[in-house]
Amino acid sequence: MATTPDAAFEALMNGVTSWDLPKECTPCELLLIGEAAFPVMVNDKGQVLIAASFYGQGRLVVVSHEGYLMHAGLVPFLLNAVSWLCPCPGAPIAVHSSLAPLVNILGDSGINALVQPEPGEALGVYCIDAYNDTLTEKLIQFVKRGGGLLIGGQAWYWASQHGRDKVLFSFPGNQVTSVAGVYFTDVYGDINRFKVSKKVPKIPLHIR
């Protein structure tokens, strides 16, 4: 089990040689605070678009647009993410209906996943978008007890509806991922240029 950021990064990036992002998805920048969270994908402007973290006995991978979790071009990374998040081989993998196409993407690579409305008791991996505000406590407890959470979304649209000042504390995804030091922000992420790092990318420290 890769339990340090360096080992985890290596497991997440194994065999990933390029980032093939869907052009129609505008991501948001992720803000990382605390010791547990680390960047996985960073653009040439130093913005984090994919991050991972540890919380309790479990782990999270946070992606800055839910469309990335349903994009065939990111399959090598998605397979690595599910495998790194899984607490033990063969543990069940469930997907919220908001990400239903992910079931087929995983299935085509030989990973069985089911659509399920919430994470189950048997610990495995749960995949969901960042807009659900009814499962907050269940998702936090699922990770705390050892589950793996793959979550994706962007907060710029939500901010335009609810106010930028509310994003960090009120955006549904942040109520879950903030326990592990990862926040969705209302800042647009640039997707023009990326390089694939060999080790955990260095990011500028932001003081907000």
Task: Please tell me the predicted confidence (pLDDT) of residue 197.
Answer: 86
Q: In the structure, what pLDDT confidence band is assigned to residue 171 with cuts at 50, 70 and 90?
A: very high
**Strand runs labelled E in 11-105:** 28-32, 38-42, 48-55, 58-63, 93-95
DSSP 11: H
Structural contact between residues 167 and 188, judged by C-beta atoms closer than 8 angstroms? no
Tell me: the pLDDT tens digits for 13-57?
Answer: 999 999 989 999 999 999 999 889 999 999 999 999 999 999 999
Q: What is the pTM of this model?
A: 0.96
Q: In the structure, what pLDDT confidence band is assigned to residue 66 with cuts at 50, 70 and 90?
A: very high
CA dist 199 to 7, 39, 92, 138, 202, Å?
A: 9, 10, 29, 33, 9
* Average pLDDT taken over every residue of the chain: 94
Q: For residue 85, give both structure tokens.
A: 């998040």
- One-letter amino acid at 151 equals I
Alpha helices (runs of H) in the chain, residue ranges in sequence order: 5-13, 75-85, 101-107, 136-144, 156-162, 167-170, 172-177
Pair type for strands 28-32 and 125-129: unpaired
Task: Please tell me the predicted confidence (pLDDT) of residue 204.
Answer: 67
Pair type for strands 28-32 and 182-188: antiparallel
Structural contact between residues 124 and 86, judged by C-beta atoms closer than 8 angstroms? yes
Tell me: the pLDDT tens digits for 100-121?
Answer: 999 999 999 999 999 999 998 8
Tell me: the pLDDT tens digits for 173-193?
Answer: 999 999 999 999 999 999 988
